[in-house]
Amino acid sequence: MNWLFGGRRPQSRTHDYTCYSPIEDYIFEATDNGQSAYLTSTCRLPKSGDVLLLPDGTGTVCYRVVEIEEYLDTTHAWTALLEKIVD
């Protein structure tokens, strides 16, 4: 599919979830090791490779979308597997 983009990969996008409510807009579930997580939402659908900015106490944590699963019902919900971006 590289030919669709002139040999370039499509750029990833950054989605800022710090303005969303973790109760009303999304569900965040960290894994045991803390380096990955699952996020379920009905907000705008990210793509693999996109970055999500999520609130973490008084700061912000960055996660990269590894995989997306869309639910084919009327809610337009999706779940993303995330990996923590470490500086």
CA–CA dist 44, 30 (Å, integer): 21
**The total number of structural domains that make up the chain:** 1
Asked whether residue 43 is assigned to any structural domain, the reply reads yes
The pTM of the full predicted model, rounded to 2 decimals, is: 0.81
Asked whether residue 3 is assigned to any structural domain, the reply reads no
Most confident of 9-13, 47-51, 58-62, 68-72: 47-51
Domain residues for the domain of 33 are 19-84
Cβ neighbours of residue 87 closer than 8 Å, sequence gap 6 or more: none
Asked whether residue 54 is assigned to any structural domain, the reply reads yes
How many whole angstroms from its chain centre is CA 75?
18
Asked whether residue 12 is assigned to any structural domain, the reply reads no
User: How does residue 23 score in pLDDT terms, banded at 50, 70 and 90?
Assistant: confident
pLDDT value at 35 more than 80: yes
Asked whether residue 13 is assigned to any structural domain, the reply reads no
Asked whether residue 5 is assigned to any structural domain, the reply reads no
